[in-house]
Amino acid sequence: MDTKTHIIRIFYQLVSEKGYVNATISEVCKRANISKGSIYHHFKSKEELLYAVLNFVFSKDQIIIFNMDNLKASNYKDKLIEMGKNYLNLNKSDKHYTQFRNEFIVLSLRDDKIKDYMVKLFYEYMELFRNLLEKLKEEKLIKESYDIETKATQLFMILDSMILYQSFNMDLDYESVWIDFIEEIFK
């Protein structure tokens, strides 16, 4: 792993463990066993490092959510169900994910620049869902009467909300909720 990626991963872990305010460049240096000069060679500031982490985390999300390899008309529904399950299991495969995500939400409530970044990401997720639903509609796999914009928003909101509820350790059957919603789309 290159130094820049290593720094991003260390800072990601620190922010999830301690919060952005308490995650220091000195601590990154200590954990990564590098000098401050090495960090500042790659990132001008702590804030720039945060945005690098945000890009890392949310691009990873998009890969997990929209890794729709081998997508064909015969397996759209199964792939959509699988995609949702993968997203819902992110916190199992990455113990820092939920904490980091929640810290990001808190930061966005305090900082308009971060909030704007978050809103931009949310619209990107909805656009990915919208494109997928348009394809399903074109292939007549879902009802012609569906409002694609509304359904794309619902898909995004359901997944996003379930991740939030998981962070509270609410004992709910998230996968069944997701499967039921997808089944409804294909009726």
- What is the CATH number for 147? 1.10.357.10
CA distance 146 to 142: 8
What's the number of domains the chain is made of?
A: 1
Domain that holds residue 81: 50-185
In a domain, 32, yes or no: no
pLDDT score recorded for residue 23: 96
In a domain, 23, yes or no: no
pLDDT digits (tens, 9 = 90+) for 56-105: 888 766 666 666 556 666 778 888 898 888 888 887 788 898 899 899 99
Average pLDDT, the chain: 89
In a domain, 175, yes or no: yes
In a domain, 61, yes or no: yes
In a domain, 16, yes or no: no
- Confidence class of residue 178 from pLDDT cuts 50, 70 and 90? very high
pLDDT digits (tens, 9 = 90+) for 141-156: 888 888 999 999 999 9
Higher per-residue confidence, 16 vs 1: 16
In a domain, 161, yes or no: yes
What token pair was written down for 129? 């869902």
41: pLDDT strictly greater than 90: yes
In a domain, 56, yes or no: yes
